[in-house]
Amino acid sequence: MRVLVTGVKGQLGYDVVNELTKRNHTAIGVDIEEMDITDVGSVDKVIKESNVEAVIHCAAYTAVDAAEDNEELCRKVNATGTENIAKVCKELDIKMMYISTDYVFNGEGVNAFSPDDEREPINIYGQTKYEGELAVENNLDKYFIVRIAWVFGVNGKNFVKTMLNLSKTRDSLTVVDNQVGSPTFTYDLARLLVDMIETDQYGKYHATNEGYCSWYEFACEIFKKAGASMKVTPVSSSEYGASKAKRPSNSRLNKDKLEENGFKRLPSWQDAVERYLKEIEE
């Protein structure tokens, strides 16, 4: 299968291209230099000339706090850009996979959100990703919307790398303990996404590594597995200090639909952290 992957320079796009290639698919990875998703002409030209059977759309504006001051640009990328891709996929009658986020929900309560739960974003980033989902749903039948959360990968910046860098210069830090979710290794995620694009089990899904933790527990696990001596103190997000964008306290995602449609759940997040640390050490 020939598959176009947007956002190839990002953590997930990078791993998706590697996974497709490993399975002998032809992966065409693009970033803004090759295809500006906000430019209708660019999207039309690149997708048509690539002669692909599917698009996995990983590119996004993901600077959550900066989005509050750059709403127009954030919407242009996450909503309009996604709609541009969806319209070409519709015209060509090819599959599209849109990578979305837990931020489309209100982040309240303690129950895991199911794929069809009501969407009620609480910040600009979440709102524009929700609009991207609507663009896919309103234009296509052959689509996957896959919501992910708390990702870390070899390529690019993430929470794990930030914690490891801090451990080189500090011996203590405070980490928020009242936001809960599932850390997710892009290597594991990429394998699942390719499993999915190889089928026609269309619809909305949630995909994260198994298990839940707070950012504080995530940090403690990173330092434990990395053998770093760091004193970590839990604080609430209000104590930590205000961030521009409101953050969800509940990022738990229900992944039952994966198994219901024949896909394998991902390993535990603790297992993922262990493998990831070994990989970035090498």
pLDDT tens-digit series, residues 206-240: 999 999 999 999 999 999 999 999 999 999 988 88
| Token representation of residue 32 | 């803004």
Asked whether the predicted pLDDT for residue 196 surpasses 80, the reply is: yes
Q: Give me the chain's average pLDDT, please.
A: 97
The pLDDT, as a whole number, for residue 214 is 98
Please give the pLDDT value at position 240: 81
The span from the CA of 8 to the CA of 155, in Å, is 10
Cα–Cα distance for residue pair 210/127, rounded to 1 Å: 26
| Residue range 6-19: mean pLDDT, rounded | 98
Q: Percent of the chain at pLDDT above 70?
A: 100
Catalytic residues: 125
CATH of the domain spanning 2-158+183-210+253-267: 3.40.50.720
- Find out whether 144 and 203 touch, Cβ atoms under 8 Å: yes
Q: Is 1 in a helix, a strand, or coil? A: coil
User: What predicted TM-score, i.e. pTM, was given to this entire model?
Assistant: 0.97
Rounded to whole angstroms, the Cα distance separating 261 from 181 reads 23
The helices-and-strands tally (H runs, E runs) of the chain is 12, 12
Q: Encode pLDDT of 61-111 as tens digits.
A: 999 999 999 999 999 999 999 999 999 999 999 999 999 999 999 999 999
Q: What's the distance, CA 64 to chain centroid? A: 13
